[in-house]
């Protein structure tokens, strides 16, 4: 079992920045990768960024060049630095961890970008 706790969401003006954190606990030593997803009202949940335990990262095209995912393996924590935020980035952001063949999700944190 893996527990994920997210933090760092909030309200920011367009062009601003936020940093999300996701701390994993429990049997976190076998996590293959961690990532961030988001879900806007009326839309499906979508991948934002993912990072392996080796540090390889992939991003959705919509956030490339603006968001940066990083991971501190010693702290079992993954971060999402979000810069140049746009109103269309408004969503609930969820952390996900792949542990063996199981997926674990955090509770979500709201990010709201105002014009």
CA gap 112, 49 in Å, rounded:
18
Q: For residue 28, give the DSSP letter.
A: G
58 strand-pairing partners: 50
3-class SS of residue 96: strand
CA gap 64, 84 in Å, rounded:
11
- How much is the CA Rg of the chain, to the nearest whole Å? 13
pLDDT digits (tens, 9 = 90+) for 42-77: 999 999 999 998 899 999 999 999 999 999 988 889
pLDDT at 26 > cutoff 90: no
pLDDT at 40 > cutoff 80: yes
pLDDT at 1 > cutoff 90: no
pLDDT digits (tens, 9 = 90+) for 79-115: 999 999 999 999 999 999 998 889 999 999 999 999 9
Question: Closest Cα partner for 102 from 6, 5, 2, 35?
Answer: 2
3-class SS of residue 9: coil
pLDDT at position 41 is: 93
């Amino acid at each position: 079992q893996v527990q994920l706790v997210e933090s760092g969401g909030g309200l920011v003006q367009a062009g601003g920045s936020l940093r999300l954190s996701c701390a994993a606990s429990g049997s976190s030593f076998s996590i293959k990768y961690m990532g961030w997803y988001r879900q806007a009202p009326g839309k499906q949940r979508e991948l934002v960024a993912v990072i392996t335990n080796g540090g390889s990262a992939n991003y959705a095209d919509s956030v490339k060049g603006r968001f940066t995912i990083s991971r501190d393996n010693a702290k079992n924590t993954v971060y999402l630095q979000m810069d140049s935020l746009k109103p269309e980035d408004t969503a609930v952001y969820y952390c996900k961890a792949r542990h063996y063949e199981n997926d674990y999700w955090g509770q979500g944190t709201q990010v709201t970008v105002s014009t």
